Structures are given as C-alpha cells and as structure tokens.
Amino acid sequence: MNLVQRPRRLRTQPTLRKMVRETRVDSSSLIYPLFVKEGKNITEEISAMPGQYRYSVDTLPYELERLSKAGVGAVMLFGIPEKKDELASGAWAENGIVQQALQTAKRQFPDLYYITDVCLCEYTSHGHCGMLCGDQVDNDRTLPVLAKTALSHVQAGADMVAPSDMMDGRVAAIRTLLDQNHYENIPILSYAVKYSSAFYGPFREAAGSAPCFGDRKSYQMDYHNKKEAVKEAALDLKEGADILMVKPALSYLDVIKTVEERFDVPVAAYSVSGEYAMIKAAAKNGWIDEEAVVCETTASVFRAGADLLLTYYAKELAQFISEGRIG
C-alpha cells in the first residue's frame, strides 16, 4: 500500500519508543505519604494497605533511609497522636507527633524534603476536620487552629505545608500567619480540589481519622462537579497557594487536566489509599500484573497533566524508573 503516514514507524524499537515518548515520569516528581504514630519501637502494618506501615519516631529513620536509597526525595507526614480532644490540641503542640518526627528526620536525613499534611481529623475526638458548633463544622473558628498547626510544623522543620481540610479561607489564614512569623519562603501545597470520595476508606483506618458521626460532604467536594474544582483552585491560588492538588487521582483525570490547563502553577495529584488497596488486592488474587498496572496508572496521571504525584508506590516507581521500566 502507498501509505505516507505510518505511525508504527515510531514504535519499532524500544529506544525509539522512549525517544518519542510524550509523557515523562521522573522520581523527582514522586512524594511518599508516611504515617507516624506516638509510641516506641512501632513498625505496624496497615491491614487495609498491605506493604504500608505506621512508624514511631524511633523507627521512622529506617524507612527514611530506604526511601533515600530508592531515590525518593520527598515525603508527606501524617501524624497519629496517642490522645485526641475536641480542640485538636495535639495538632499544634510543640511536642506533637509530627513535630517530633520532623525534628528527628531533619537531623538524620536533612537532604530529604519534608511536607506535612495540615488537617485536624487525626487529632479531634470526633474525627472531623475542624472545630464543631453543635453537630456542624465551624469554618471560621477552624481557620486559626489550622494556621497555628501549619506554623508549628514549619517551626519544627517542615519545608512545605499542605492543608487538606477544605475549609474556606484556610490558605489565606496559613499564608498570613507564616508571613507574620518570617516564613515567607515556605510554600503551600493546597489540597485545592479534594472530593468526598469512597476511595479514602483504607486511609481512615491507617490514620484513625474516621468521623464519629455524619460525613464530610459539607466541606469536601461533590464528585459530580468540575466547574467547582476550577472555582476552588482559583480561590486557593488567590489566597497564596503555590501548588494545587487534585485528590483522588484516577477517577479525576479530567479534573487534573482542567486544573492544569487553567492555572499556570504546578499541579499535584494524590493516588489515594483506595486506589492502592484495589491494585494490591487484585494483584494478590493473580487477576492483574501489579507492576504493569502501577506503571500504567501512574503514566495516566502524568499524562493528564500532573507535575507531582503523591503515591504509596513511590519506592517501587523510583526503582522502575531507575531500571528503565517506566520513565
């Protein structure tokens, strides 16, 4: 046949396929979520997330060393306190679990980049992400607590803070307090577009953060909405966010693409616990090739427009990248 255009010409050799690859995946774009728990000598596997663990401050450095050797350069810390109360006092305590973890981590592995999740759900006795007024979350009364928590993380050594609560105005509150305390150069990675999702189930077991009553649909987004995602992202950017996140990732690739096209800032995506758990469960049953699915789904997130990816597969992906199995 007399075909002028033959797209298969560029697929004939592995080297050529890599040369013309449109989507590049690099380990510098990966962020690994880590759970740190109060106590000692804890390395506790999370039953709903096989291969993921809760660490105490004394065992955390062993995992940080593994991450560093694997080529993962950034982590996000989630704290699990021993005690909770209605005021989430453990979130901003000088000797809180995240604050302790930061001090140890920065001292032993200063070359890693430390991001902290700023939310109150792990620290409140009721499990909601803010202060309560009756059975409702009080948006405005929550803002100073979130700002105080972010400041305490930075004072303990955080390189970046990431508010995930979805309260209106929290980015502005955090930015104002950080600037007032001369932390103008600390960036904010905002969970700008965080949907109320069924994919969070395993995380709530991991962090002990399930609400004691009701749900989070009054502050997390309705998964039917995309225009609202643009609105939320624009507001956070105006308030001082430096990076915008879409969470979850796989069911919201269209939203990642929309945010990436509309805003001239880096876009992050969070491949959440439910996405991880589904792959693990299917692989355990022999229904899928785990490595192949991890690589394919990861590429899809970057192809959609993400610049950064929070993923529980960060260590494996860094290895796959170094071995040329994805990249």
Question: Which amino acid, 140?
Answer: D
Band (9; pLDDT cuts 50, 70, 90): confident
The CA distance from 89 to 38, in Å, is 14
In this prediction, residue 6 carries a pLDDT of 84
Q: Is omega for the bond preceding 61 within 30 degrees of 0, making it cis?
A: no
Whether the CB-CB separation of 143 and 114 falls below 8 Å is answered with no
Is 284 known to be catalytic? no
The CA distance from 251 to 137, in Å, is 27
Locate the domains of the chain by residue range: 22-322
CATH class of the 22-322 domain in this structure: alpha beta
In this prediction, residue 146 carries a pLDDT of 98
Spot the catalytic one: 247, 257, 280, 284: 247
In this prediction, residue 207 carries a pLDDT of 63
Chain position carrying tokens 């001082």: 240
Q: Please check the confidence at residue 5 and state whether its pLDDT lies above 90.
A: no
The CA distance from 270 to 248, in Å, is 5
Cβ burial, residue 222 (10 Å; 0-12/13-18/19+)? exposed
Q: Rg of the chain over CA atoms, in angstroms?
A: 20
The CA distance from 64 to 242, in Å, is 26
Whether the CB-CB separation of 25 and 299 falls below 8 Å is answered with yes
Spot the catalytic one: 194, 231, 284, 315: 194
Strands (E), the chain: 30-37, 43-45, 53-55, 74-80, 113-118, 132-133, 136-137, 160-163, 189-194, 243-247, 267-271, 308-311
Q: Which of 116-130, 202-216, 239-253 has the lowest mean pLDDT?
A: 202-216
Interaxial angle between packed helices 139-156 and 97-108, expressed in degrees from 0 to 180 and rounded to the nearest 10: 30
Q: Which of 94-98, 134-138, 197-201, 242-246 has the lowest mean pLDDT?
A: 134-138
Band (288; pLDDT cuts 50, 70, 90): very high
Band (18; pLDDT cuts 50, 70, 90): confident
Is 148 known to be catalytic? no
Q: Please check the confidence at residue 290 and state whether its pLDDT lies above 70.
A: yes
Percent of the chain with pLDDT over 90: 81
* Six token digits for residue 183: 């932390």
